[in-house]
């Protein structure tokens, strides 16, 4: 059957197929025979309406079904015969279909990109790691101490600086409606005007007073306005902060003394700093490799990645008690477009490097990962049944991709020249803030937004966003399934003990 391949882009192709008239007529006869018993036409018994009447009344439906039947039958085979391997459902670009004549259809589809292999064996990298000094350890110990604070009742007491007062507060701003706030816990600071008004009050006692907000108040709605308050004290508590001592260490766990607790905290901080530095190093490596190997990614794969982002964000919104239907999903997809493209490019690039290096994940390693997960989550299900469920849900493939990603990064680091740089607290916080701005798309240098000297880059606005439409993904009968799932799993390094997420 004649078929011609058209190259629209490195990852977008179209195949044009000619179907003989005899097969077209047979398809029309088959479709008409299927719908005849199902339709009701006035004046005819079910299944007895003449064929010309059916063809006239249901012409659009019949033609649509015939086209779908012919495309499903010939598309994949025609694409493969022309040397292409589709990774997305076909999208009809052209259709010439009439009973009794040859039919011609042209269908667009995506193919996997040809990924250039960058020089990944001569990278020069700096591993930026937070330095864990005595001050950092003491800061975290203080955090443990503050989290162990006890709030003890104050019997027959009065509001005083340092106590925690639980109050019902009614506030009436000048020119605005009154609002009531119940069970507001306030740690009393006598230097604040509001807190100062409460000093000396007893439990269940009420007080009314007014305060005027300054003209330069950060809340512009209330700036310069007078607010009338009615406050009732409902409870008073004093904070009991434990002393850093051997007894405190024993209360925190199986520690013999305070020095043992400090050593454990220092060890945890060092391990966390190492994980953070390694993840940052992986990101740097990916950035360098992606810059060195530009290639186009299939828009259907980008659409799938955006679908994943939207699903995750919808779950996050639901957990916050909000309605996902109220989200502007077109704007959100545009906001995450660059992330999705980078994730897909990263997955394909890592997969290519892994193939060049012949990196594989033995089945035994996947089993070990699953057993560890079962043990950590106290899953009593038989292992074989649990593994079968993970495979059915696609989680086993995700785990395989994640483990392969770990091995690929390990291999890259063996050939890279890595210098470690220890950052103090100020330098580390500056680095994190810089990364935050980069991730949020906030320009940090004048050239980042292509702005002119003196321009307010954060206020610049780009063109009208165009949403990327989602395209369903299909695999041909001989298609390597790994090119989607492992590529997605290899897009970002993940924690080794992360719970397998249902895809």
**Which residues sit opposite 336 in a β-bridge?**
none
> Phi/psi zone of residue 402: left (φ > 0), alpha (ψ -120 to 50 degrees), beta?
alpha
In 96-220, which residue ranges form alpha helices assigned H by DSSP?
Answer: 134-147, 193-198
Phi, psi angle pair for 124, to nearest 5°: -115, 120
Domains 3-110 and 150-240 share a fold: no
Looking at the structure, give the CATH architecture of the domain made up of residues 150-240: Roll (3.10)
- Specify the pLDDT at position 480: 38
Q: How far apart are CA 25 and CA 54, in angstroms?
A: 15
Tokens of 245: 């001592």
- Specify the pLDDT at position 225: 86
Q: How far apart are CA 273 and CA 130, in angstroms?
A: 6
- Specify the pLDDT at position 479: 37
73 Cβ contact partners less than 8 Å away, ≥ 6 residues apart: none
Record: fold of 3-110: Alpha-Beta Plaits (3.30.70)
| Sites in the chain below the pLDDT cut of 50 | 445-503
Considering only CA atoms, which of 213, 231, 228 is closest in space to residue 177? 228
Tokens of 214: 């300054």
Contacts 24+ apart (CB under 8 A), 250-253: 251/148, 252/144, 252/148
**Which residues sit opposite 124 in a β-bridge?**
417
- Specify the pLDDT at position 35: 85
Q: How far apart are CA 317 and CA 306, in angstroms?
A: 16
The residue behind tokens 């492992």 is: 486
- Specify the pLDDT at position 236: 95
Considering only CA atoms, which of 308, 352, 368 is closest in space to residue 332? 308
Beta strands in 311-360 (DSSP E): none
Phi, psi angle pair for 184, to nearest 5°: -90, 120
Considering only CA atoms, which of 285, 497, 277 is closest in space to residue 403? 497
478 in Cβ contact with 312 (< 8 Å):
no
Q: How far apart are CA 67 and CA 94, in angstroms?
A: 11
Angstrom CA distances, 247 to 56, 139, 144, 238, stand at: 90, 19, 14, 21
Radius of gyration of the chain (CA): 33
- Specify the pLDDT at position 443: 58
Q: Where are the domains of the chain?
A: 3-110, 150-240, 261-489
Tokens of 11: 């990852």
468 in Cβ contact with 307 (< 8 Å):
no
């Amino acid at each position: 059957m004649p078929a011609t391949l058209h190259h629209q882009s490195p990852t977008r192709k179209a195949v044009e197929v000619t179907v003989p008239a005899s097969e077209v007529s047979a398809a029309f006869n088959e479709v008409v025979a299927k719908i005849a018993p199902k339709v009701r036409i006035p004046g005819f018994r079910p299944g007895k309406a003449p064929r010309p009447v059916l063809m006239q009344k249901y012409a659009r439906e019949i033609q649509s079904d015939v086209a779908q039947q012919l495309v499903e039958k010939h598309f994949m085979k025609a694409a493969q015969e022309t040397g292409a391997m589709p990774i997305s459902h076909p999208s009809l670009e052209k259709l010439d279909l009439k009973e009794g004549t040859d039919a011609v259809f042209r269908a667009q589809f995506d193919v996997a990109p040809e990924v250039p292999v960058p020089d990944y064996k001569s990278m020069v990298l700096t591993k930026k790691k937070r330095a864990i000094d005595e001050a950092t350890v003491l800061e975290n110990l203080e955090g443990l101490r503050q989290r162990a604070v006890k709030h003890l009742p104050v019997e027959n007491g009065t509001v005083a600086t340092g106590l925690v007062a639980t109050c019902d507060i009614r506030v009436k701003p000048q020119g605005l409606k009154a609002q009531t706030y119940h069970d507001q816990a306030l740690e009393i600071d006598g230097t604040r005007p509001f807190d100062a008004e409460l000093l000396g009050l007893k439990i269940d006692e009420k007080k009314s007073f007014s305060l005027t907000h300054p003209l330069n108040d950060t809340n512009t709605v209330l700036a310069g306005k007078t607010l009338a308050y009615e406050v009732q004290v409902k409870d008073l508590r004093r904070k009991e902060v434990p002393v850093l001592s051997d007894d405190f260490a024993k209360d925190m766990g199986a520690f013999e003394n305070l020095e043992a607790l400090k050593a454990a905290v220092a060890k945890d901080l060092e391990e966390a700093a190492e994980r953070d530095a390694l993840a940052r190093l992986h990101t740097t490596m990916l950035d360098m490799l992606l810059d060195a190997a530009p290639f186009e990614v299939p828009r259907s794969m980008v659409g799938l990645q955006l679908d994943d982002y939207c699903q995750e964000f919808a779950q996050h919104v639901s957990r916050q008690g909000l309605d996902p239907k109220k989200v502007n999903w077109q704007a959100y997809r545009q906001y995450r477009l660059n992330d999705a493209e980078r994730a897909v490019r990263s997955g394909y690039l890592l997969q290519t490097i892994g193939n060049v290096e012949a990196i594989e994940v033995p089945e035994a390693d996947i089993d070990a990962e699953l057993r560890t997960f079962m043990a950590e989550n106290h899953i009593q299900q038989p292992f074989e049944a649990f593994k079968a469920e993970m495979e059915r849900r696609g989680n086993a493939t995700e785990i395989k991709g994640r483990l392969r990603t770990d091995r690929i990064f390990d291999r890259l680091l063996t050939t890279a020249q890595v210098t470690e740089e220890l950052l103090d607290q100020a330098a580390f916080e500056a680095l994190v803030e810089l990364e935050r701005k980069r991730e949020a798309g906030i320009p940090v240098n004048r050239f980042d937004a292509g702005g002119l000297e003196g321009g307010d880059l954060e206020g610049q606005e780009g063109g009208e966003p165009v949403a990327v439409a989602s395209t369903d993904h299909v695999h041909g009968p001989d298609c390597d399934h790994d090119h989607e799932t492992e590529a997605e799993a290899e897009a970002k390094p993940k924690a080794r003990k992360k719970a397998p997420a249902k895809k």
